Amino acid sequence: MKFLLSLPVIGLFFWLHTSKETEQVTKNMVAVNDTVHFEGEDHFTNVRQLTFGGDNAEAYFSFDGKYIVYQRTDPKNGIQCDQIWMGKVPESADEAFIPKLVSTGTGRTTCAYFYPDGKHIVYGSTHLGSKECPPVPDRKKYGNKYIWPIYESFDIFKADLNGKIVKQLTKSKGYDAEAVVSPKGDKMVFTSMRDGDLDLYTMDLNGRNVNRITTSLGYDGGAWFSPDGTKLIWRASRPKSEIEIKEYKELLAQNLVAPTNMEVWTANVDGTDAKQITNLGQANWAPNYTPEGKVIFCSNHEYKRGFPFNMYLANADGSNIQKISRDKGFDAFPMFSPNGKRIVFCSNRNNGGTRDTNIFIADWKGE
Protein backbone atom coordinates (compact mmCIF):
# COMPACT_ATOMS: atom_id res chain seq x y z
CA MET A 1 0.00 0.00 0.00
CA LYS A 2 2.27 2.64 -1.12
CA PHE A 3 -1.04 4.31 -1.07
CA LEU A 4 -2.75 1.49 0.63
CA LEU A 5 -3.73 0.80 -2.80
CA SER A 6 -6.01 -1.93 -2.30
CA LEU A 7 -7.29 0.74 -0.09
CA PRO A 8 -5.82 3.74 -1.80
CA VAL A 9 -5.70 4.14 -5.48
CA ILE A 10 -8.59 1.90 -5.86
CA GLY A 11 -10.39 3.22 -2.83
CA LEU A 12 -9.22 6.71 -3.58
CA PHE A 13 -10.29 6.42 -7.17
CA PHE A 14 -13.82 5.52 -6.15
CA TRP A 15 -13.78 8.38 -3.68
CA LEU A 16 -12.84 10.78 -6.41
CA HIS A 17 -15.57 9.56 -8.73
CA THR A 18 -18.69 9.29 -6.66
CA SER A 19 -20.35 12.62 -7.42
CA LYS A 20 -22.64 13.17 -10.39
CA GLU A 21 -20.51 16.15 -11.34
CA THR A 22 -17.38 14.02 -11.56
CA GLU A 23 -19.14 11.33 -13.57
CA GLN A 24 -20.31 13.95 -16.05
CA VAL A 25 -16.80 15.42 -16.30
CA THR A 26 -15.45 11.94 -17.01
CA LYS A 27 -18.07 11.27 -19.70
CA ASN A 28 -17.39 14.59 -21.40
CA MET A 29 -13.64 13.99 -21.27
CA VAL A 30 -13.55 10.58 -22.90
CA ALA A 31 -14.13 11.52 -26.52
CA VAL A 32 -11.39 14.15 -26.53
CA ASN A 33 -8.76 13.16 -24.00
CA ASP A 34 -8.74 9.37 -23.66
CA THR A 35 -5.19 8.48 -24.64
CA VAL A 36 -2.11 6.68 -23.37
CA HIS A 37 0.11 9.76 -23.84
CA PHE A 38 -1.06 13.33 -23.27
CA GLU A 39 0.40 16.49 -24.76
CA GLY A 40 2.85 18.05 -22.31
CA GLU A 41 4.12 14.72 -20.93
CA ASP A 42 7.58 15.41 -22.30
CA HIS A 43 9.41 13.07 -19.93
CA PHE A 44 7.66 10.01 -21.39
CA THR A 45 8.25 8.40 -24.79
CA ASN A 46 7.02 5.11 -26.25
CA VAL A 47 4.17 4.82 -23.73
CA ARG A 48 2.54 1.37 -23.65
CA GLN A 49 -0.49 0.14 -21.73
CA LEU A 50 0.13 -3.26 -20.10
CA THR A 51 -3.20 -4.06 -18.41
CA PHE A 52 -6.77 -3.59 -19.61
CA GLY A 53 -9.64 -3.59 -17.15
CA GLY A 54 -10.07 -3.75 -13.40
CA ASP A 55 -7.93 -1.84 -10.91
CA ASN A 56 -4.23 -2.50 -11.38
CA ALA A 57 -1.67 -0.59 -9.37
CA GLU A 58 1.61 -0.44 -7.48
CA ALA A 59 3.59 -2.08 -10.27
CA TYR A 60 7.29 -2.43 -9.43
CA PHE A 61 10.31 -3.74 -11.33
CA SER A 62 12.44 -6.73 -10.41
CA PHE A 63 16.10 -6.06 -9.65
CA ASP A 64 17.05 -7.04 -13.22
CA GLY A 65 14.25 -4.93 -14.72
CA LYS A 66 12.76 -7.88 -16.62
CA TYR A 67 9.56 -8.35 -14.58
CA ILE A 68 6.98 -6.34 -12.72
CA VAL A 69 4.85 -7.34 -9.74
CA TYR A 70 1.62 -5.55 -8.88
CA GLN A 71 -1.78 -5.79 -7.21
CA ARG A 72 -5.08 -6.22 -8.98
CA THR A 73 -8.80 -6.12 -8.19
CA ASP A 74 -11.30 -7.09 -10.86
CA PRO A 75 -14.73 -8.18 -9.58
CA LYS A 76 -15.98 -8.78 -13.12
CA ASN A 77 -13.41 -11.56 -13.37
CA GLY A 78 -13.82 -12.94 -9.88
CA ILE A 79 -11.04 -10.97 -8.14
CA GLN A 80 -13.06 -9.31 -5.36
CA CYS A 81 -10.15 -7.55 -3.64
CA ASP A 82 -6.46 -7.04 -4.35
CA GLN A 83 -4.28 -10.03 -5.19
CA ILE A 84 -0.64 -10.02 -6.30
CA TRP A 85 0.29 -10.68 -9.94
CA MET A 86 3.55 -10.64 -11.86
CA GLY A 87 4.52 -10.65 -15.52
CA LYS A 88 7.46 -10.31 -17.85
CA VAL A 89 8.00 -6.83 -19.25
CA PRO A 90 7.56 -7.00 -23.06
CA GLU A 91 10.79 -6.49 -24.95
CA SER A 92 9.12 -5.63 -28.26
CA ALA A 93 5.89 -4.08 -29.49
CA ASP A 94 4.47 -7.43 -30.60
CA GLU A 95 5.25 -9.27 -27.34
CA ALA A 96 2.19 -9.68 -25.12
CA PHE A 97 2.13 -8.94 -21.40
CA ILE A 98 0.93 -12.15 -19.72
CA PRO A 99 0.63 -11.90 -15.92
CA LYS A 100 0.12 -14.73 -13.43
CA LEU A 101 -1.22 -14.87 -9.88
CA VAL A 102 1.53 -15.16 -7.25
CA SER A 103 -0.40 -14.57 -4.01
CA THR A 104 -2.67 -17.06 -2.25
CA GLY A 105 -5.87 -15.78 -3.86
CA THR A 106 -7.38 -15.34 -0.39
CA GLY A 107 -7.78 -12.35 1.92
CA ARG A 108 -6.58 -8.94 0.71
CA THR A 109 -3.00 -8.29 -0.36
CA THR A 110 -0.92 -5.20 -0.97
CA CYS A 111 2.49 -3.76 -1.78
CA ALA A 112 4.51 -6.52 -3.42
CA TYR A 113 8.22 -6.18 -4.15
CA PHE A 114 10.90 -8.47 -5.56
CA TYR A 115 13.79 -9.88 -3.58
CA PRO A 116 17.26 -9.32 -5.08
CA ASP A 117 17.50 -13.00 -6.05
CA GLY A 118 14.62 -12.60 -8.53
CA LYS A 119 13.13 -15.81 -7.15
CA HIS A 120 11.02 -14.41 -4.32
CA ILE A 121 8.65 -11.56 -3.54
CA VAL A 122 7.50 -9.84 -0.36
CA TYR A 123 3.95 -8.60 0.14
CA GLY A 124 1.35 -7.82 2.80
CA SER A 125 -1.71 -10.05 3.21
CA THR A 126 -4.71 -10.56 5.50
CA HIS A 127 -5.22 -14.21 4.55
CA LEU A 128 -4.29 -15.59 7.97
CA GLY A 129 -7.10 -13.54 9.50
CA SER A 130 -9.67 -14.74 6.98
CA LYS A 131 -9.80 -16.15 3.49
CA GLU A 132 -12.53 -13.63 2.68
CA CYS A 133 -11.98 -10.03 1.60
CA PRO A 134 -12.05 -7.87 4.74
CA PRO A 135 -14.97 -5.42 5.00
CA VAL A 136 -14.65 -1.86 3.71
CA PRO A 137 -15.56 0.96 6.14
CA ASP A 138 -18.95 2.61 5.80
CA ARG A 139 -17.99 6.22 5.08
CA LYS A 140 -21.47 7.44 6.03
CA LYS A 141 -20.55 6.79 9.66
CA TYR A 142 -17.72 9.30 9.30
CA GLY A 143 -19.47 12.11 7.50
CA ASN A 144 -18.60 10.65 4.07
CA LYS A 145 -14.92 11.38 4.67
CA TYR A 146 -12.44 9.33 2.71
CA ILE A 147 -11.23 6.63 5.11
CA TRP A 148 -8.60 3.90 4.82
CA PRO A 149 -8.94 0.71 6.85
CA ILE A 150 -5.70 -0.34 8.54
CA TYR A 151 -6.51 -4.02 8.85
CA GLU A 152 -5.02 -5.65 11.96
CA SER A 153 -4.70 -8.92 10.07
CA PHE A 154 -2.14 -7.53 7.61
CA ASP A 155 1.24 -9.22 7.96
CA ILE A 156 4.24 -9.37 5.64
CA PHE A 157 5.18 -12.58 3.84
CA LYS A 158 7.96 -13.90 1.64
CA ALA A 159 6.81 -16.11 -1.24
CA ASP A 160 8.30 -17.78 -4.28
CA LEU A 161 7.20 -16.97 -7.83
CA ASN A 162 4.75 -19.85 -7.86
CA GLY A 163 2.83 -18.35 -4.96
CA LYS A 164 4.16 -20.60 -2.19
CA ILE A 165 4.74 -18.70 1.05
CA VAL A 166 8.14 -19.64 2.41
CA LYS A 167 8.26 -17.37 5.46
CA GLN A 168 6.04 -15.09 7.53
CA LEU A 169 8.20 -12.04 8.23
CA THR A 170 6.01 -10.19 10.76
CA LYS A 171 3.85 -11.52 13.58
CA SER A 172 3.26 -8.46 15.74
CA LYS A 173 -0.22 -7.37 16.76
CA GLY A 174 -1.73 -4.88 14.32
CA TYR A 175 -1.05 -3.65 10.81
CA ASP A 176 2.23 -4.61 9.07
CA ALA A 177 2.50 -3.85 5.34
CA GLU A 178 3.94 -1.54 2.66
CA ALA A 179 7.32 -3.27 2.42
CA VAL A 180 10.00 -2.16 -0.09
CA VAL A 181 13.48 -3.69 -0.48
CA SER A 182 16.59 -1.51 -0.55
CA PRO A 183 18.57 -1.31 -3.82
CA LYS A 184 21.51 -2.55 -1.72
CA GLY A 185 19.57 -5.76 -1.15
CA ASP A 186 20.30 -5.77 2.57
CA LYS A 187 17.05 -4.61 4.23
CA MET A 188 13.48 -3.51 3.69
CA VAL A 189 11.39 -0.64 5.00
CA PHE A 190 7.75 -1.11 6.02
CA THR A 191 4.89 0.49 7.97
CA SER A 192 3.67 -0.98 11.25
CA MET A 193 1.26 -0.31 14.13
CA ARG A 194 3.31 -2.40 16.57
CA ASP A 195 4.08 0.55 18.86
CA GLY A 196 0.63 2.14 18.71
CA ASP A 197 1.06 4.53 15.80
CA LEU A 198 1.61 4.12 12.05
CA ASP A 199 5.39 4.38 11.80
CA LEU A 200 8.22 3.31 9.52
CA TYR A 201 10.53 0.45 10.43
CA THR A 202 13.40 -1.34 8.73
CA MET A 203 14.30 -5.01 9.02
CA ASP A 204 16.60 -7.55 7.42
CA LEU A 205 15.26 -9.53 4.48
CA ASN A 206 14.60 -12.47 6.81
CA GLY A 207 12.46 -10.35 9.16
CA ARG A 208 15.09 -9.88 11.87
CA ASN A 209 16.78 -6.79 13.33
CA VAL A 210 13.71 -4.55 13.31
CA ASN A 211 14.46 -0.84 13.84
CA ARG A 212 11.94 1.96 14.28
CA ILE A 213 12.61 4.92 11.97
CA THR A 214 9.85 7.48 12.71
CA THR A 215 8.41 8.54 16.06
CA SER A 216 6.20 11.59 15.37
CA LEU A 217 2.43 11.27 15.73
CA GLY A 218 0.76 10.66 12.38
CA TYR A 219 0.68 8.20 9.53
CA ASP A 220 4.09 7.40 8.01
CA GLY A 221 3.91 5.11 5.00
CA GLY A 222 4.68 4.34 1.39
CA ALA A 223 8.43 4.62 1.93
CA TRP A 224 11.11 4.11 -0.73
CA PHE A 225 14.89 4.00 -0.68
CA SER A 226 17.10 6.31 -2.70
CA PRO A 227 18.97 4.62 -5.59
CA ASP A 228 22.09 4.27 -3.42
CA GLY A 229 20.11 2.94 -0.47
CA THR A 230 21.24 5.68 1.94
CA LYS A 231 18.03 7.72 2.22
CA LEU A 232 14.28 7.22 2.59
CA ILE A 233 11.39 9.14 1.08
CA TRP A 234 7.80 8.69 2.23
CA ARG A 235 4.37 10.25 2.76
CA ALA A 236 3.27 11.45 6.18
CA SER A 237 0.35 13.07 7.94
CA ARG A 238 1.16 15.29 10.90
CA PRO A 239 -1.94 16.27 12.91
CA LYS A 240 -1.18 19.47 14.81
CA SER A 241 -4.29 21.02 16.36
CA GLU A 242 -6.20 19.46 19.25
CA ILE A 243 -9.09 18.67 16.90
CA GLU A 244 -6.79 17.03 14.31
CA ILE A 245 -5.00 14.97 16.94
CA LYS A 246 -8.28 13.88 18.54
CA GLU A 247 -9.72 12.81 15.19
CA TYR A 248 -6.54 10.97 14.19
CA LYS A 249 -6.39 9.03 17.48
CA GLU A 250 -10.10 8.19 17.43
CA LEU A 251 -9.88 6.79 13.91
CA LEU A 252 -6.66 4.93 14.66
CA ALA A 253 -8.34 3.25 17.64
CA GLN A 254 -10.78 1.81 15.10
CA ASN A 255 -7.94 0.80 12.74
CA LEU A 256 -8.79 3.64 10.36
CA VAL A 257 -7.00 6.67 8.97
CA ALA A 258 -8.14 9.65 6.88
CA PRO A 259 -5.30 10.31 4.41
CA THR A 260 -6.50 13.56 2.84
CA ASN A 261 -3.64 15.69 4.18
CA MET A 262 -0.17 14.26 3.58
CA GLU A 263 3.22 15.72 2.68
CA VAL A 264 6.47 14.20 1.40
CA TRP A 265 9.35 13.63 3.82
CA THR A 266 12.94 12.44 3.47
CA ALA A 267 15.52 11.16 5.97
CA ASN A 268 18.67 9.13 6.22
CA VAL A 269 17.98 5.40 6.23
CA ASP A 270 18.36 5.34 10.03
CA GLY A 271 15.76 8.11 10.44
CA THR A 272 18.19 10.95 11.16
CA ASP A 273 17.98 14.31 9.38
CA ALA A 274 14.24 13.96 8.73
CA LYS A 275 12.87 16.78 6.58
CA GLN A 276 9.47 17.70 5.19
CA ILE A 277 10.15 18.64 1.55
CA THR A 278 6.64 19.55 0.40
CA ASN A 279 4.20 21.96 1.97
CA LEU A 280 1.45 22.00 -0.64
CA GLY A 281 -1.64 21.00 1.29
CA GLN A 282 -4.11 18.23 0.44
CA ALA A 283 -2.71 14.80 -0.50
CA ASN A 284 0.94 14.52 -1.60
CA TRP A 285 2.09 10.92 -1.68
CA ALA A 286 3.55 7.99 -3.70
CA PRO A 287 7.01 9.63 -3.73
CA ASN A 288 10.09 8.07 -5.27
CA TYR A 289 13.53 9.06 -6.52
CA THR A 290 14.36 9.57 -10.20
CA PRO A 291 17.52 8.22 -11.87
CA GLU A 292 18.88 11.79 -11.82
CA GLY A 293 18.50 12.05 -8.04
CA LYS A 294 15.39 14.19 -8.13
CA VAL A 295 12.03 13.44 -6.51
CA ILE A 296 8.81 12.34 -8.21
CA PHE A 297 5.49 12.27 -6.35
CA CYS A 298 1.72 12.29 -6.81
CA SER A 299 -0.50 15.18 -5.72
CA ASN A 300 -3.91 16.81 -5.99
CA HIS A 301 -2.73 20.14 -4.55
CA GLU A 302 -3.72 22.14 -7.62
CA TYR A 303 -7.37 21.16 -7.36
CA LYS A 304 -9.62 22.26 -4.49
CA ARG A 305 -12.18 19.53 -5.23
CA GLY A 306 -9.53 16.83 -4.67
CA PHE A 307 -8.83 15.63 -8.19
CA PRO A 308 -7.20 15.05 -10.62
CA PHE A 309 -4.11 13.43 -9.15
CA ASN A 310 -1.01 13.96 -11.28
CA MET A 311 2.70 13.23 -10.97
CA TYR A 312 5.18 16.00 -10.23
CA LEU A 313 8.95 16.31 -10.46
CA ALA A 314 11.01 18.30 -7.94
CA ASN A 315 14.56 18.80 -6.74
CA ALA A 316 15.66 16.59 -3.85
CA ASP A 317 14.84 19.42 -1.42
CA GLY A 318 11.31 19.83 -2.84
CA SER A 319 12.04 22.97 -4.83
CA ASN A 320 11.28 23.64 -8.51
CA ILE A 321 8.08 21.57 -8.69
CA GLN A 322 6.98 20.67 -12.22
CA LYS A 323 3.87 18.76 -13.33
CA ILE A 324 4.86 15.89 -15.61
CA SER A 325 1.60 13.93 -16.14
CA ARG A 326 -1.73 15.16 -17.48
CA ASP A 327 -4.52 12.64 -17.01
CA LYS A 328 -7.78 14.23 -15.83
CA GLY A 329 -8.33 11.48 -13.28
CA PHE A 330 -5.41 9.67 -11.67
CA ASP A 331 -1.67 9.19 -12.30
CA ALA A 332 0.49 7.67 -9.55
CA PHE A 333 2.87 4.96 -8.29
CA PRO A 334 5.94 5.79 -10.38
CA MET A 335 8.97 3.50 -10.30
CA PHE A 336 12.05 3.51 -12.49
CA SER A 337 13.79 0.47 -13.93
CA PRO A 338 17.15 -0.34 -12.31
CA ASN A 339 19.02 1.05 -15.34
CA GLY A 340 17.00 4.27 -15.14
CA LYS A 341 15.78 4.06 -18.71
CA ARG A 342 12.10 3.22 -18.14
CA ILE A 343 9.28 4.24 -15.86
CA VAL A 344 6.21 2.26 -14.84
CA PHE A 345 3.15 4.00 -13.41
CA CYS A 346 -0.59 3.57 -12.95
CA SER A 347 -3.33 5.72 -14.44
CA ASN A 348 -7.00 6.11 -15.28
CA ARG A 349 -6.04 7.15 -18.82
CA ASN A 350 -7.41 5.30 -21.82
CA ASN A 351 -10.07 3.50 -19.77
CA GLY A 352 -13.00 4.36 -22.03
CA GLY A 353 -14.73 6.40 -19.37
CA THR A 354 -14.82 3.53 -16.86
CA ARG A 355 -13.31 3.52 -13.39
CA ASP A 356 -10.47 1.22 -14.43
CA THR A 357 -6.91 1.91 -13.31
CA ASN A 358 -4.23 0.35 -15.51
CA ILE A 359 -0.46 -0.06 -15.67
CA PHE A 360 1.62 1.86 -18.20
CA ILE A 361 5.29 1.68 -19.07
CA ALA A 362 7.34 4.26 -20.93
CA ASP A 363 10.88 5.23 -21.81
CA TRP A 364 12.07 7.93 -19.41
CA LYS A 365 13.42 11.16 -20.82
CA GLY A 366 15.26 12.84 -17.97
CA GLU A 367 16.68 16.32 -17.71
Helices (DSSP H) in the chain: which residue ranges?
9-16, 20-33, 242-253
Q: State the Cα–Cα distance between residues 234 and 237, nearest whole angstrom.
A: 10
From residue 203, alpha-carbon distances to 31, 179, 188 in Å are 48, 10, 6
pLDDT in tens, 169-184: 999 999 999 999 999 9
CA nearest 179: which of 196, 194, 158, 164?
A: 158
This prediction has a pTM of: 0.91
Q: What percent of the chain lies above the pLDDT cut of 70?
A: 91
Go through the domains of the chain in sequence order and give each one's CATH number: 9-28+52-290 (2.120.10)
Tell me the pLDDT band of 222, cut-offs 50, 70 and 90.
Answer: very high
Tell me the pLDDT band of 11, cut-offs 50, 70 and 90.
Answer: very low
Q: Output 145 or 170, whichever has higher pLDDT.
A: 170
Q: State the Cα–Cα distance between residues 304 and 315, nearest whole angstrom.
A: 25
